[in-house]
Amino acid sequence: MRDASTTSLLYGAHVRANGIRQHYLRFGGSGPAVVIVPGISTAAAQWAFIAERLCAGRDVYVLDVRGRGLSESGPHLSYSLDSCASDLVAFAEAVGIGPYTILGHSMGARIGIRAARWHSSFIERLIMIDPPVSGPGRRRYPIPVEPLLKLLHSAQRGEAETALRASDAPQWPERHIRMRAEWMHTCDERALIESHRGFHHDDIHFDLANLDVATALIVAGRGGVIRSEDEAEILRLLPSIAIRQLEGAGHQMQIDDTEGFLAIVQELLAQPHF
């Protein structure tokens, strides 16, 4: 994030929507609305550096998905895909966003897919960033949950930064290592487990085949989350989809190649139709 004197962050706030407390960050404040939905173990604060770059002439919201960041969590909540998609739809209604674009990363893309199938009249566009394409009868998601849980337990002890520096994360810029270490402890353990299990139980391909929203897909060039055969199947299900690849970047492409990622997103957002 830029210095406080130049930041485009308007405020962080909470709203009660879908019966729970949802936390969000808002950037820019005018123009077409974009709602960023992060992945399985990522808080809104970790996407602020992207929102800062996208908010010129746009009204950008970054949502803390239930069980992450400052949104509500606990044993009383369901962390199902349906619950999270309902949260997203109710959030947009509660804060009064008109037609909006969903920019969803990984789990956030799956949430966006389900929300867009349900609520297409209020969603202008859906941009999916490397969503898991596992599901009933399909190959497993290639990123296991166990390393996430191990990192979460380290974060709960205040040792996340040490754990990250012992992993692959030192390839990241320093600020991203520190941000992940700062926010990881906010993840609800059951949220991680149930969301990851849902990657294998929820059929997003049915949703994709029944979308009535302009949709784009950004695929990481490495990491194996989406393979060429997956792209081909998605194109068969949704022939109108726009597909872009970011070669050389992994699943966390917004960090691996920030400029390349932003160039693709800006290009998609600038198009009246995909």
The pTM of the full predicted model, rounded to 2 decimals, is 0.96
Token pair 């949220």 is at which residue? 191
With a cut of 70, list the residues of the chain below it in pLDDT.
1-5, 168-170
Question: Residue 168's pLDDT is what?
Answer: 64
What homologous superfamily does CATH list for 9-140+201-270?
Alpha/Beta hydrolase fold, catalytic domain (3.40.50.1820)
CB atoms within 10 A of CB 3: 6
pLDDT tens sequence across 216-265: 999 999 989 999 999 999 999 999 999 999 999 999 999 999 999 999 99
> Residue 169: which of 153, 190, 186, 148 has the closest Cα?
148
At residue 166, the pLDDT reads 86
Contacts of the segment 44-49: beta carbons below 8 A, 24+ positions apart: 44/12, 44/69, 44/70, 45/69, 45/179, 45/182, 45/183, 46/176, 46/179, 46/180, 46/183, 47/105, 47/254, 48/1, 48/9, 49/1, 49/175, 49/258
Contact by Cβ (8 Å): 221, 194: no
Q: What does the pLDDT read at residue 2?
A: 44
What's the confidence (pLDDT) of residue 273?
Answer: 76
Domain coordinates in residue numbering, the chain: 9-140+201-270
